Amino acid sequence: MTRTKLKGLNGSNPLGFMASVGLLRLLERDRQVGGCARLGFTDDGAFHAWVECDPDLDIADLVARDAAGAAGPQPWRLEYEKKEKRGIKIVADLKPPPAYFSKFLALAITEWSAGHSERADYAAAYGTDVARDGKQNTKPTAFHFTAANQQFLGTVEETRTLVTKASTKRSLHLPGQTEPGPNLRWDPDAERSRALMGVNPNDKGTVVNAPLEWLAFRGLPAFPCVPIGLRIKTCCVTGRRQNELQFHWPLWSCGASYATVRSLLVLTVAWTQARDTQRSIEGRNERGVLAVCTSKIRRSAQGFGNFGPALVRV
């Protein structure tokens, strides 16, 4: 097992953290690694991600092959029909009419029962079958920041096509590697409210770190949603109203497997809301957690979302 520091993955940045989790998930699923991959973060204040895996594994090649292999039909693709003035439009987003999402869930359960969990993993991260938005469509994960004509999964597909081995290698080892293209608005450094942009986010007026956004999407199953009554609750997110939502995530110094990371993420909100703060800090430190980050989820009047800069508590 060889440890590789990835200076392009900043754990205190929401996109960097989600991409780190996504990379761990890919490594976990790779036959060459065999479930032995571990993820951690440096404790020097830079919070760079590092992974431990087979020394002969080409990580950049693994990511690029995963993106290339995701062309065409995939378990996580959710498309549905939307009636508009010009006729029926095929939409690739996370706000389908409830009937469409119920069919997606039913298929996910059938595949999961047969030993294929990919669709179920993503279905749990997309939403629930009970929560509705103001238009009575499926209310999606709190990480759904696209709006208007920008479609979440449509953006994912455009991002996927930009991922190459060369761009992935740069993104993993050098910060700030962007190129023209749409993004999921998960990087606080790229926040540009549409009212201030002067361009439509569907056009090439925005930039994207395609390999990191692809990895973050691949890590989305680590943040499942659950129904609370008729509401939806996203893992690691607190707050009930749109202007109160906050994303919390831990950073740890010891190597952790993907299964351990998923369990750790479930505990994070409990630490942030503990009444006995000192005891909570001691408890998380005993588990190897060196910091907890918090990023406010901002919403514009047009419905777009963004992560705000993170507050890091050590």
Judged by average pLDDT, the poorest of 106-110, 119-123, 269-273 is 269-273
Is 80 exceeded by the pLDDT of residue 248?
A: yes
pTM of the model: 0.91
Per the structure block, which two tokens stand in for 196?
Answer: 């201030």
User: Average model confidence (pLDDT) for the chain?
Assistant: 87
User: Rounded mean pLDDT of 222-234?
Assistant: 93
Q: Is the pLDDT of residue 200 over 90?
A: no
d(C-alpha 81, C-alpha 191), whole Å: 30
- Whole-angstrom CA distances from 79 to 19, 97, 111, 130, 312 are 24, 11, 18, 19, 37
Please check the confidence at residue 276 and state whether its pLDDT lies above 90: no
Average pLDDT over residues 33-61: 87
175 Cβ partners below 8 Å, 6+ apart? 7, 8, 10
DSSP state at residue 280: H
- What pLDDT, on a 0 to 100 scale, did the predictor assign at position 198? 44
At residue 134 the predicted structure's pLDDT band, cuts being 50, 70 and 90, is: confident
Q: Is the pLDDT of residue 217 over 70?
A: yes
